[in-house]
Structure 1
Amino acid sequence: MSARFAHGLVIGKFYPPHSGHHFLIRSAADACEAVTVVVMAAGHESIPLADRVAWIGEHWAGEPHVAVVGVVDDLAVDYDSDAAWDGHVALMRQALATGPHASDVDAVFSSEPYGTELARRFGAAPVLLDLDRGTFAVSGTKVRADPVAHWDEIEPPVRAWLARRVVVVGAESTGTTTLSRDLADALRARGGPHALTRWVPEYGRELTVAKLARARGLAGPDMPRPTVADLDWDDADFELVARRQNRTEQHAARAGGPVLVCDTDALATTVWQERYRDRTTGPVRDLARAMPPRALYLLTSDEGVPFDDDGLRDGEHLRGWMTERFREVLTASGVEWLELDGDRAARLTRALAAVDRLLAEGWGMADPLG
């Protein structure tokens, strides 16, 4: 192998990280004994510094000679000002001091014209790559402006952060699963990044099936066959439901498209706990607060929907109360929500229109300091 640099430096906002950034880091990793990636984020920006550091660190976790550190940089950018340069470089050196590579930087890898001057200020060699974006025609600006168009340029944790989470909730036998499946299918049919659209099933239903099977397995041959009405629910069950729901949702978001469709979530679990336990508990509320931001809730109305007893339901008499309770909880959440009634086709049409409005509004990320 040809001669290598001792310590390469890659700096950037990584707002958000994309394939062009990883090309730059990969080039440094292949050319240096050690690499430090310094993530520099302004405090007002929409993606937290810690998330960006974690995302890049996850990607490069298998290469221990690549270290990722971060620093808050709220200084104005002015390439013609020595004072501005001195301030930014001082922050870079501060960040470098927190990393594992103690040697001086002898190469600066950059895809920006300022890379030459930055290298000079470190007394290092400038290594400039893809200045014209001919290899990776992507930038943080482009991703922020239209994540959907650049979905294939971003890694799973970034996709999970950007995914617009649409959650369908409602009382028993009001069509929540039908609508959420239909919505995911309709989005997948659009192709492109939307072909990756994932559907997150309701873990509470899965747990009900398992509890009922266990109860029937424990029942003796001469005992009545247990039904769903015979099941006991305790607070630990609802904590399990919320925890598993969050975990499954996050896994799906990493592998999915720009919209993630969820059949219920941990906030809805607080309502179900109230329905069965006449209260909600701190652990379940905490799990609801820990969820990533929701973009939209879709509430399926019980009006005009016949109750279908599929052997896992026992709350026909509570459907009106639950629908009203969902209205109250969703209003208090501060998240946009829409109540859907009518037949299956009408509900899907309105749901798709609401999702399209979300996508048309964009992600609204703050501009970086210029």
Structure 2
Amino acid sequence: MNPQKEFGLGVVIGKFLPPHRGHHFLIDTAISRCAAVVVIVCEKPGDPVPGALRQAWLQEMHPAADVRLIDDRYDENDSRVWAENTIRWLGRAPDAVFTSEHYGDAYAAHMGCRHVMVDQPRQAVPCSGTIVRNDPFAQWEHLSPPVRGWYAKRIVVLGAESTGTTTLAKALSEYFKTWWVAEYGREYSFEKQSRGETNWRTEEFMEIAREQTRREDLAAREANRILICDTNSFVTTLWHRRYMGFDSPALNDLAKHCRADLYLLTGDEIPFVQDGLRDGEAIRHEMHRWFEEGLIGQKGSPWILVRGPAETRLAQAVAACSFMAS
């Protein structure tokens, strides 16, 4: 045992549904006092946040701990059963159990180890998993970046060429004081054009969709409750159709996993503006129809059409988004 540590092996066990600052305080306390710490994440079927995600989040936030996931099929009030299983999972009895609950006394006693109670009255961190699940936005400051990324609402601005998507996305991010994710496909197209390349391949659209999603997921971790996205992988499927002339089943399957809590479709009634990259003025209205048809076919993702001058569109979008950011 590390001579500077009070205990050898410490255990922290719970649902962590979801992890919050109180859990981090508990685990950090165990790490500070133990040479080694095992965190046991309990998962039941139907949990609102998958156990594997909770395990990954805790492992990311506490790299010094060994975070394990177990199938919770036991009576939560039977401390003896939990103690016997903990010894089996660890291969030995721990030296200390760290909890913020009174069950820790009986649980530790059955393993013959110490129970260290940490902030049981929730004074250091006034938070709980139930409170977070009921209103994650109200508890935002108690959530770590990966958990914020899970709960952040994603607003996707989309539309045909030169319909003001980027203008609206920037304006929304400024209004809600949050992050926005630029259109990676535009960046990719600019670089492609600068190399003198004109032919497209399906693999390029797959790359664009994956990178757009990666950037979106990273930005969601830093978002202020909602994230504004200037396009997403669903939109990439329509640009594939526009340039390739057909749909890609593989790309469509990829897009089925994109997250969108609200789509804002920009109207095509405004004048077309050439910026040096755009080449779709002749089919802009047809593409707008594709977007409308695609959104109608989306299941579970609401959408609205915003039209008019920039300030009118912003007002329409803010009204649609405000209930998410409250």
TM range (shorter): over 0.9
Q: 1:317 to 1:55 in 2, by over 3 A?
A: same
Cα deviations across residues 328-349 of structure 1 (Å, max 9, x unaligned)? 2122221111111122112111
Match of 1:168 in 2: 157
Write out the 4+ residue segments of structure 1 that deviate beyond 6 Å after TM superposition.
none
- How far apart are the structure 1 equivalents of 2:302 and 2:82? 40
Q: For 1:5, which of 7, 20, 28 is the aligned residue?
A: 7
Asked if residue 323 in structure 1 is aligned to residue 322 in structure 2, the reply is no
Give the drift of 1:90. 5.1
Give the drift of 1:86. 4.4
Q: 1:203 to 1:124 in 2, by over 3 A?
A: same
Q: In the TM superposition, what are the counterparts of 1:94-133 in structure 2 within 5 Å?
A: 96-97=89-90, 102-133=91-122
Cα deviations across residues 147-192 of structure 1 (Å, max 9, x unaligned)? 222222221111111111111110001111111111111001xxxx
Checking the alignment, whether the CA contact within 8 Å between 2:9 and 2:95 is kept in structure 1 is yes
Cα deviations across residues 92-129 of structure 1 (Å, max 9, x unaligned)? 455x24xxxx3321211011122112211222111001
Taking structure 1 as the reference length, what is the TM-score of the superposition? 0.82
- How far apart are the structure 2 equivalents of 1:346 and 1:76? 56
Q: 1:161 to 1:70 in 2, by over 3 A?
A: same
Q: For 1:300, which of 266, 278, 288 is the aligned residue?
A: 266
Q: For 1:314, which of 275, 279, 284 is the aligned residue?
A: 279
Q: In the TM superposition, what are the counterparts of 1:270-281 in structure 2 within 5 Å?
A: 270-281=237-248
Match of 1:17 in 2: 19
Match of 1:140 in 2: 129
Checking the alignment, whether the CA contact within 8 Å between 2:6 and 2:33 is kept in structure 1 is yes
Q: Secondary structure at the match of 1:134?
A: coil
The residue type equivalent to 1:198 in the other structure is W
Match of 1:33 in 2: 35
Give the drift of 1:44. 1.6
- How far apart are the structure 1 equivalents of 2:322 and 2:44? 31
Cα deviations across residues 68-89 of structure 1 (Å, max 9, x unaligned)? 1111325554x4xxxx444544
Q: Which runs of 5+ in 1 are unaligned?
A: 189-196, 216-229, 361-370
Checking the alignment, whether the CA contact within 8 Å between 2:5 and 2:35 is kept in structure 1 is no
Match of 1:67 in 2: 66
Q: 1:88 to 1:337 in 2, by over 3 A?
A: farther
Match of 1:225 in 2: none
- How far apart are the structure 2 equivalents of 1:158 and 1:132? 24
Checking the alignment, whether the CA contact within 8 Å between 1:173 and 1:308 is kept in structure 2 is yes
Checking the alignment, whether the CA contact within 8 Å between 1:9 and 1:37 is kept in structure 2 is yes
Match of 1:194 in 2: none
Q: 1:171 to 1:108 in 2, by over 3 A?
A: same
Match of 1:227 in 2: none
Q: 1:3 to 1:203 in 2, by over 3 A?
A: closer
Asked if residue 264 in structure 1 is aligned to residue 231 in structure 2, the reply is yes
- How far apart are the structure 2 equivalents of 1:86 and 1:116? 11
Q: Which runs of 5+ in 2 are unaligned?
A: none
Q: Secondary structure at the match of 1:246?
A: helix
- How far apart are the structure 1 equivalents of 2:220 and 2:257? 15
Asked if residue 157 in structure 1 is aligned to residue 146 in structure 2, the reply is yes
Q: Secondary structure at the match of 1:339?
A: strand
Checking the alignment, whether the CA contact within 8 Å between 2:5 and 2:32 is kept in structure 1 is no
Cα deviations across residues 285-309 of structure 1 (Å, max 9, x unaligned)? 2331333x3111111111x211111
- How far apart are the structure 1 equivalents of 2:57 and 2:4? 30
The residue type equivalent to 1:157 in the other structure is P
Q: 1:358 to 1:149 in 2, by over 3 A?
A: closer
Match of 2:195 in 1: 214
Checking the alignment, whether the CA contact within 8 Å between 1:198 and 1:257 is kept in structure 2 is yes
Q: For 1:203, which of 184, 197, 205 is the aligned residue?
A: 184
Give the drift of 1:237. 2.1
Q: Secondary structure at the match of 1:45?
A: coil
Checking the alignment, whether the CA contact within 8 Å between 2:83 and 2:108 is kept in structure 1 is no
Checking the alignment, whether the CA contact within 8 Å between 2:87 and 2:111 is kept in structure 1 is no
Checking the alignment, whether the CA contact within 8 Å between 1:107 and 1:126 is kept in structure 2 is yes
Checking the alignment, whether the CA contact within 8 Å between 1:169 and 1:299 is kept in structure 2 is yes
Q: Secondary structure at the match of 1:112?
A: coil
The percent of aligned pairs where both chains have the same amino acid is 41
Q: Secondary structure at the match of 1:149?
A: coil
Give the drift of 1:42. 2.1
Q: Secondary structure at the match of 2:120?
A: coil
Checking the alignment, whether the CA contact within 8 Å between 1:73 and 1:88 is kept in structure 2 is no
Give the drift of 1:359. 4.2
Cα deviations across residues 220-274 of structure 1 (Å, max 9, x unaligned)? xxxxxxxxxx832222221221121111111111222210100001110000100
Q: Secondary structure at the match of 2:12?
A: strand
